[in-house]
Amino acid sequence: MTLPPSPDWIAVDWGTSNLRVWAMGAEGILAEASSEDGMGRLGRADFEPALIRLIEPWLAAAHVPVPVVACGMVGSRQGWHEAPYRCVPCAPLDPAAMVQVPTTDGRIRVSIAPGLKQMKPADVMRGEETQIAGALALWPGFDGILCLPGTHTKWAHVSAGEVVSFQTFMTGELFALLSEQSVLRHGLQGAGWDDAAFDTGLSDALSRPERIAARLFSLRAEGLIAGLAAPQARARLSGLLIGIELAAARPYWLGQPVALIGSEGLSRSYARALAAQGAEARILPGTACTLAGLASLFRQHEMTR
């Protein structure tokens, strides 16, 4: 039987749907755990118990309160404790702006990273600012565009260590709604993927983005009368949605160094789409960026205590 880890601190990525925690030591990750106790399903009083359930085994040997550094929707108004947005242009994270959260359990000392807002055009992020800080920690001096594909994909212009501006696209949520809840779901079930169909959707959307609502329905119609199969339909849907996003985000990626931060599969789709437009994109793993961002917060925050 292995001893439970006794972490120096605990990293927490707490989004709308999921809670992920890491026990961190001098050498890096000692242990990790996750649950579906996302912000979206918790009332204010449920956050501390949901966290303790996951990290309890790591607290056994604690003689002093263990620092817990969290980012994501946990800091929203509907979350555990509001961490008010910081306004761009600014560094993605500021240790001095961390919000301390009172806890019942004396074995932890919780702080939450604020998200970022942009006044015009109005935009917000929570969690991605930590990944951006992590990317800058892993890749010091990076100047250019960071794209963070996901439910709400973010494009951020980063320069001199600051987020200059950013823009959010509902691409991932549209894909989920359309493939799981809409009439299209009938023709999208099952496994498989077709790169050529992705490329077709991408090119259709980039050349005539305004046709999106008609092209969406044509996936259904082709399934009914022309035998369009699920792997092709799903890949084309993804291509269409990423295509209209790239059409609108062109000022971000055109002629700029681009790095993608996110899950491997989705980042590869974005990289493929960008490559088709002649733009090279480097892929940075999302979890590594999150942890690097939280670690930089922890280090700086501890230094100033």
Q: How far is the CB of 55 from a second copy (least distance, A)?
A: 28
What lies within 8 Å, CB to CB, of 113 at 6+ separation is: 69, 70, 71, 75, 83, 93, 97, 98, 129, 130, 293, 294, 297
Comparing CB distances to a second copy, the nearer of 110 and 197 is: 197
Name the residue among 117, 146, 130 with its Cα closest to residue 300. 130
Q: Is 90 in the site for a second copy (CB under 8 A)?
A: no
DSSP β-bridge partners for residue 69: 11, 111
Q: How far is the CB of 224 from a second copy (least distance, A)?
A: 6
Comparing CB distances to a second copy, the nearer of 1 and 119 is: 119
Question: Mask: binding to a second copy, 138-167, rule CB under 8 A, as x and -?
Answer: --------------x--------------x
Q: Is 174 in the site for a second copy (CB under 8 A)?
A: yes
Give the footprint of a second copy on residues 103-122 (CB under 8 A): 117-119, 121-122
CB burial of 64-73 (b: ≥16 within 10 Å; e: otherwise) equals: eebbbbbbbb
Comparing CB distances to a second copy, the nearer of 227 and 265 is: 227
Name the residue among 165, 184, 162, 189 with its Cα closest to residue 174. 184
Per DSSP, 162 falls in state E
Name the residue among 90, 88, 71 with its Cα closest to residue 80. 71
The answer to whether 11 touches 291, Cβ cutoff 8 Å, is yes
Q: Is 43 in the site for a second copy (CB under 8 A)?
A: no
Comparing CB distances to a second copy, the nearer of 37 and 245 is: 245
The residue ranges that bind a second copy (CB under 8 A) are: 85, 117-119, 121-124, 152, 167-171, 173-174, 177-178, 181-183, 208-214, 216-218, 220-222, 224-226, 228, 241, 244-245, 247-249
